[in-house]
Structure 1
């Protein structure tokens, strides 16, 4: 018998009724993951075209879409809105069982492809409020509606927006947080990160305002946002605060726009790093990738790219391997005009599925066949987390350079260092976490078997001293690398003004010496390629100082061995050292030895262990595993690229291959 809920939907569609919401609820943590795409709606399209796109989605396993709700295409000269063009899309979506995330896109210049992030003045804010009311009250009862993307891609890319609206807010913020000229110990404050701190706070405030405006009229559907350019913009994002007004978190992942720190072969690594960062940011909320590059960018974007079918597959499985609830590709159909005209699509100009869309369909089919397995899998933690600080990015943006012959002096060095450690341990098969320090749980009574990596986090505020000391004293291991804590939160050199972490680290720095772009740091059997600076610890002849503190310890290497791995491309010494030196949770599964350019995520779903492995190297690999027991059972591949299999407990991986195994 037809489900009653969908029978009601059928009758509503049959009679053209769009006045009842029979399934409104935020995205659930135990929802079956989805695969979807952006359907780009613009004037000139016909109802048959729009209906055909949704039919194509349904035929290719897609159950979710995103639609940019252009106020410019709705607002009429008399001040009212004509929703008829977008109504056709919502009606077609419901006809084919596809849910819609509607992105608020207030009126902006014709050439503005990303939309404004803050209003220019109070008039524009008030106009936005009126648009929110009109849009939300019109669509909240449409059966196809899944949720609201409250604004497209928040983030300024470091461009402080001097508008009347922002400057007024800044004046109020300055009144709450007055600037000071001297530190408590008398040292002058000559450089500040006040601009960065304000944008960080104000972004959260403005996003909250939008979310609350939506909830005035609709408190049933999902409220979502997709930060973009996260590797450069993370200093503007306060995810723990965002959780208070969102019901899910997302992100944008366009290699052409956002993966500039990575080579083409590292794009799946970049997707993994971003996914893990967003998973941590979401905390208890579900997350999914709101935008994934789905097609060719011809003239737009920074780097020209057309993803391969293999990359589409790898990116989707990477997101699923980080507990993501799905991914939406940008986009299904190409837009007709503007800088992105004819670009990004997953269908060709005749409306037929590309090989990229067919690849996405294959993943969707596996998800649907094993729906219960993918409802709520949980990553099996290794106990190791790479922790980054927004203050380090702020300091780097003030002190560093856009271009320099040394990467350590350029923008990006602090996040590249963190990613280098993440990559090194991932290539041992470990589930390594990546999170902001404010997202780490410092409230536990015992951190035995837990490790934190602070890699070249050049600015560490003094107020983190207590949290880090508590972590180590309660049994944790802290690995500190590079120029970590060189500055405080106000860009004073900490070694010169009273080193806050001397008690925890067990010493101080005598000096940092410029050596070479690459030189070797030797610690026992390990020879690390090292970039630029050699840090010398007072009273220590070894480049590494190990200090016991309470029940735990600090391993301090104040030379840039992580950037050395990044610059040289040789991660094995760093990987081997970290794997052997850092405590791990006892029951983890890992590679028996180092596997360059191979990614693994291991999850638990009920009594089933789920492994997702991706081989980005140019050679076939046979990979032995540690941590399997006789109780692990017989492995069963639920997805395998050509040339990939599992045999006698080993993973057989072809180049560019993906293998998904349940045990």
Structure 2
């Protein structure tokens, strides 16, 4: 809102709107705001200025750290913006509930890879009925090439799934048709892409997806665009593809009601302070280094997600606050902190609890370079030294790509190389005779710390083979115990596996340009495969699938006797 008068007018509008439409049986629920978020910028108006001043009374700016070091930069503005977004959504929800206590409340988030730090999903659960998102490839998948859009949909879904927590979720907006003058990367989704996106959503526990839009607009910047129907109101090839998926769902309600994503126990955590810090600090470079541009933090996470996807392994993407640190047994659970450059010092206690109770923590890149005050603590008392098993001597900008050898694996790394001053940690790799990685036993768990950007380096090199080989050693139990996986890494092939009772459902998508024959490994050989959907002429023969370019296959694994 611009000011108090504007806020009152919004309340009056909500009253008129809700009291009118809540009477109609066609109404399912209310979307509080379409695609909330400001891109990290605080609105410049009188209302926000006054609210910021009031907020600062309860969150006063600090001039010095607890150890007496001056705070010259901070993230206060971003913390306020997160709280402002949450307050306004809560306010709208409360206004709706004054007039309608029955219908559902929903929010669809957009550009999730750029905006997720603004979204306090755990707080939103208190007033939402379900969570959603907008995943328009032409607007929101700028970190990916078109060949990777199915992978982008998978990662987008993981962030929303984690944010929803105990609430159901669905993808509120999917691109249904052509771009003419809209979109950052204009395209027209193919029927094959539409099919891929839908099945990926379902394997990620989504209740479904809604396409924008059925009919084309007649005027405005999207005139004649985005639609599933053509100008003669006939179904497009994309609409026909949706119908085929819907027919399969309707034919097997026993399978598709209550699908749950199969969990590997691997969690890729993003820390919102890291995304805020990058936005504030990253100013690009003459060499256009990826890690010097906004996006390096998220792309580092995506590197690990993409690597595990080539194995057919599901990995969760969670905000740090969304991970459950209250348990007393984390055996079999892995957290990966990939280049999370700013971590609040108070998180050290939570991570120590996780590792000491059996968890495994993999740390890479410039993780914990800053604290929540953008203060470099590696010089002034590193809060993670006991847990990590050492400190950093210094970071050196080495090259756009350089190699780190860990055991028998040589991994590409990007830009910076951390030189470790080991404490309790045991050196597991060196670079020019300087410690480049350590392993530290801590309680019942362990920490592996490689302060170089392995995920982003692999992504830049477009080769996840070495990273996968290393992960196969470090998270071996998580991989080998997963219900269904590829027998070997499969570049440009995606698989997501979900569970329904005693059955498993694997969605396999071929984004390569060639027909592929892929052997699968099933954890329990009592499970036998059978195909229930193929968008092409794919086949499954025992534990081997034949899948054509751009094809989607859905394979059901059923235990003998069921």
TM-score w.r.t. the length of structure 1 is 0.81
SS in 1 for 2:169: coil
Q: 2:95 aligns with which of 213, 224, 230?
A: 213
Is 1:651 matched up with 2:537? Answer: no
Q: 1:606 aligns with which of 493, 497, 501?
A: 501
Displacement after TM superposition at 1:339 (Å): 1.2
Is 1:632 matched up with 2:514? Answer: no
Displacement after TM superposition at 1:346 (Å): 1.0
Q: Which residue of 1 aligns with 2:306?
A: 423
Hey, what's the Cα distance between the residues in 2 that align with 1:457 and 1:148?
A: 35
SS in 2 for 1:167: helix
Displacement after TM superposition at 1:184 (Å): 0.8
List structure 1 segments (4+ residues) > 6 angstroms apart after TM superposition: none
Hey, what's the Cα distance between the residues in 2 that align with 1:619 and 1:401?
A: 40
Hey, what's the Cα distance between the residues in 2 that align with 1:628 and 1:525?
A: 27
- What are the equivalent positions in structure 2 for 1:521-532 lying under 5 Å apart? 521-532=404-415
TM-score w.r.t. the length of structure 2 is 0.95
Hey, what's the Cα distance between the residues in 2 that align with 1:579 and 1:325?
A: 32
Hey, what's the Cα distance between the residues in 2 that align with 1:125 and 1:598?
A: 49
Displacement after TM superposition at 1:403 (Å): 6.2
CA displacement, residues 129-163 of structure 1 (integer Å, 9 cap, x when unaligned): 11111111111121111111111100101232111
- What are the equivalent positions in structure 2 for 1:508-657 lying under 5 Å apart? 508-539=391-422, 540=427, 541=430, 542-582=435-475, 584-585=477-478, 586=481, 588-633=483-528, 635-657=529-551
Q: Is this contact kept in 2: 1:381–1:588, CA < 8 A? A: no
Hey, what's the Cα distance between the residues in 2 that align with 1:521 and 1:403?
A: 24
Displacement after TM superposition at 1:356 (Å): 0.8
SS in 1 for 2:80: helix
Hey, what's the Cα distance between the residues in 1 that align with 2:141 and 2:366?
A: 24
Counterparts in 2 of 1:120 and 1:389: CA distance versus 1, 3 Å:
same
Displacement after TM superposition at 1:445 (Å): 1.1
Hey, what's the Cα distance between the residues in 2 that align with 1:388 and 1:533?
A: 20
Hey, what's the Cα distance between the residues in 2 that align with 1:618 and 1:460?
A: 41
Q: Could you tell which deviates more after superposition, 640-649 or 413-422?
A: 640-649
CA displacement, residues 478-498 of structure 1 (integer Å, 9 cap, x when unaligned): 000100000000101121121
Is 1:325 matched up with 2:219? Answer: no
SS in 2 for 1:624: strand
Q: Which residue of 2 aligns with 1:480?
A: 363
Counterparts in 2 of 1:222 and 1:402: CA distance versus 1, 3 Å:
farther
Displacement after TM superposition at 1:376 (Å): 0.3
Hey, what's the Cα distance between the residues in 2 that align with 1:618 and 1:526?
A: 29
Is 1:192 matched up with 2:74? Answer: yes
Is 1:460 matched up with 2:343? Answer: yes
SS in 2 for 1:284: coil
Displacement after TM superposition at 1:402 (Å): 5.2
Q: Which residue of 1 aligns with 2:122?
A: 240
Is 1:143 matched up with 2:25? Answer: yes
Q: Could you tell which deviates more after superposition, 211-220 or 429-438?
A: 211-220
- What are the equivalent positions in structure 2 for 1:219-618 lying under 5 Å apart? 219-401=101-283, 405-539=288-422, 540=427, 541=430, 542-582=435-475, 584-585=477-478, 586=481, 588-618=483-513
Hey, what's the Cα distance between the residues in 1 that align with 2:542 and 2:50?
A: 66
Q: Is this contact kept in 2: 1:157–1:229, CA < 8 A? A: no
Displacement after TM superposition at 1:414 (Å): 0.3
Q: Which residue of 2 aligns with 1:160?
A: 42
Q: Is this contact kept in 1: 2:483–2:524, CA < 8 A? A: no
Q: Is this contact kept in 2: 1:451–1:583, CA < 8 A? A: no
Q: Is this contact kept in 2: 1:454–1:481, CA < 8 A? A: yes
Q: Is this contact kept in 1: 2:521–2:543, CA < 8 A? A: no
Counterparts in 2 of 1:402 and 1:157: CA distance versus 1, 3 Å:
farther
SS in 1 for 2:346: helix
SS in 2 for 1:515: strand
Q: Could you tell which deviates more after superposition, 198-207 or 653-662?
A: 653-662
Hey, what's the Cα distance between the residues in 2 that align with 1:583 and 1:473?
A: 20
SS in 2 for 1:536: strand
Q: Which has the larger radius of gyration?
A: 1
Displacement after TM superposition at 1:543 (Å): 2.4
Hey, what's the Cα distance between the residues in 2 that align with 1:402 and 1:215?
A: 46
Q: Is this contact kept in 2: 1:621–1:652, CA < 8 A? A: yes
CA displacement, residues 229-274 of structure 1 (integer Å, 9 cap, x when unaligned): 1111111100000000001000010111111111010111110000
SS in 2 for 1:594: coil
Normalized per residue, which structure has more strand?
A: 2
CA displacement, residues 523-582 of structure 1 (integer Å, 9 cap, x when unaligned): 121111111111111144452211100000001110111110111111111112112212
